[in-house]
Amino acid sequence: MKKELGITILLVVLCATTAFLNHRFLGAANLANMARLIGMYGIFSIGLGLIIITGGIDLSVGSVFALQGVLLAMALREWHWHWSVAVLATIAGVMVLGLFHGLMIARVRMQPFIVTLCGLLFYRGLARFIADDETKGFGSEGFGALRELATGNVGPVPMPFVILIVVAIISYVVLHRSVYGRYLYAVGRNEDAARYSGINSRLIILSVYVISMMLVGVAGVLIAFYTNSISPANHGSFYELYGIAAAVLGGCSLRGGEGSILGIVIGTALLQVLQNLVNLLGIPSSLNFAVMGAVIFFGVLVDQVLRARQVKKIR
């Protein structure tokens, strides 16, 4: 909890300031919409966070959303698959991509950055080609169960947020309580030493790319139905960077071996609050990215300075 304290304070301060400057921030509609977005972004950010903890990275997430979205829309509307088959098939397909990335990284020893950068380019291109560069959508009726997942509520709480809580709890147990979670940290910190302790480091790395893609697949379905129309050229673009930003803000180090589920979730929330702040405070929306960049920058800077000071104290 100590590590997440800084970012939690930042989140509270930002919320308080925004609420003070614009009372609509605390309105039910605004909170619900924010929670819905936090839910969708949080699910795949956790996946990215797990990869980052092993010292890897995944840049392909946004393009995977586009490819999955296009295929899901076509399966449902053009090929008339049953919705459950379509959903499971696309999530499985996305996991196969993760398996491929994992094999390239763990077996062939390619660098994660390169493998997934190629994925980013390839899947985007493939999505546009398959869709003929046309926007695909789910129309305005049918697929009630799926729409419910993305746009429905449990009581007052948006469904994606509920799903995020479930995913977060499971991930928390896996990462912080299980043998597998300990191995993730060990491999991220020092793969050689992990191997010398009898850990099958390749299998661990391979599996984390598959698990992460499973979460990406789930989030992809929600995001597709949330936007309801998928334009293959820009659906999901930059989403991998939101995920990486959330993980890093939440305390994951790109060097690997550090980070927590709680931190990643708070990091995701912080990013969404920032977006909301830009809208509510009348800041020109063109400054959106600039604000986000600046806040992440200072967040990480402060963290770095505090940590350096701690190290000095120990000496």
Partner 1 sequence: MSALLELKHITKRFPGVLALDDVSMSVGRGEVLALIGENGAGKSTLMKILGGVYQADAGEICFEDKPVTIRHVSDALALGIGFIHQELNVLDNLDVAANVFMGREPVWGGPLRLIDRKKIAADSEPYLKRLGLDISPRTPLRDLSLAQQQMVEIAKALSQNARLLIMDEPTSSLTLTETERLLDTVCELSESGVSIIYISHRLGEIEFCADRVVALRDGKNAGELQQSEVSHAKMVSLMIGRKLEDLYVQGKGPQQVGYFQVEGLRTRYRPHHKISYDVARGEILGFAGLVGAGRSEMAQAIFGVDVPLEGTVRIDGQPVTIHNARDAIDAGIYLAPEDRRKTGLITEMVVRENITLAGLKRYSTWSLVRGDRENEAARRQVDSLHVKTPTIETKAVNLSGGNQQKVVLGKWLSLDPKVIIFDEPTRGIDVGAKAEIYRLMRALADRGVAIVMISSDMEEVIGVSDRVAVMHEGDIAGFLKREEFSEQAIMNLAVGRKAA
Residue placing its CB nearer to partner 1 in the complex, 29 or 179: 179
Least separation in angstroms between CB 254 and partner 1: 15
Which among 312, 308, 289 is positioned nearest to 300, based on CA atoms?
308
Which among 273, 274, 276, 249 is positioned nearest to 262, based on CA atoms?
249
200 near partner 1, judged by CB under 8 A:
yes
Least separation in angstroms between CB 98 and partner 1: 21
314 near partner 1, judged by CB under 8 A:
yes
Least separation in angstroms between CB 170 and partner 1: 12
Residue placing its CB nearer to partner 1 in the complex, 201 or 272: 201
End-to-end CA distance of the chain: 24
197 near partner 1, judged by CB under 8 A:
yes
Which among 156, 177, 205 is positioned nearest to 54, based on CA atoms?
205
Which among 223, 262, 311 is positioned nearest to 11, based on CA atoms?
262
Residues 73-92 that bind partner 1 (CB under 8 A): none
Binding mask 240-279 for partner 1 (x = CB under 8 A): -----------------x----------------------
Residue placing its CB nearer to partner 1 in the complex, 3 or 147: 3
Residue placing its CB nearer to partner 1 in the complex, 89 or 174: 174
The number of residues that bind partner 1 (CB under 8 A) is 24
Contact 130, 8 (CB under 8 A): no
109 near partner 1, judged by CB under 8 A:
no
Contact 72, 224 (CB under 8 A): yes
Q: Give the DSSP H/E element, type plus range, for residue 229.
A: strand 229-230
Query: Strand, helix or coil at 190?
Result: coil
Binding mask 157-196 for partner 1 (x = CB under 8 A): ----------------x---xxxx-xx-xx--xx-xxxxx
240: left (phi over 0), alpha (psi -120 to 50) or beta: alpha
Residue placing its CB nearer to partner 1 in the complex, 77 or 195: 195
Angle between helices 159-177 and 201-227 (to 10 degrees): 170
Residue placing its CB nearer to partner 1 in the complex, 200 or 279: 200
Least separation in angstroms between CB 174 and partner 1: 9
Which among 259, 90, 119 is positioned nearest to 189, based on CA atoms?
259
Distance CA 21, CA 185 (A): 41
Task: Give the footprint of partner 1 on this chain (CB under 8 A).
Answer: 173, 177-180, 182-183, 185-186, 189-190, 192-200, 257, 313-315
